[in-house]
Amino acid sequence: MILRILLVATLISTGWFSGPARGQTFPSSPFPVPTPLRLEDVVASILSQYPPLLAAQIEQDVANGRLRSV
């Protein structure tokens, strides 16, 4: 047990363990914390970025009888 404690103390003092050095801290992340995606945001993005998808959805609705005219 004493040998294990001495080994761990030696590894810590020589810097073998990863982590900040004595007196230092890990830097904070330069990236903002991400917010969860909402379904409404995803759908709005798809419809604004992919007009062919919107056209295909309208054609599908017309073919299925859910939409008579635009």
Indicate whether this model's pTM tops 0.85: no
Q: Which two tokens stand for residue 55?
A: 């056209």
d(CA 3, CA 5): 5
Tens of pLDDT, residue by residue over 43-64, are 888 878 878 877 888 888 888 8
Q: How confident is the model at residue 25 (pLDDT cuts 50, 70, 90)?
A: low
Share of the chain above pLDDT 70, in %: 66
d(CA 70, CA 56): 13
d(CA 27, CA 25): 6
Tens of pLDDT, residue by residue over 35-44, are 888 999 988 8
DSSP the chain: -HHHHHHHHHHHHHT-S-SPPTT--PPPPSSPPPPPP-HHHHHHHHHHH-HHHHHHHHHHHHHTTS-S--
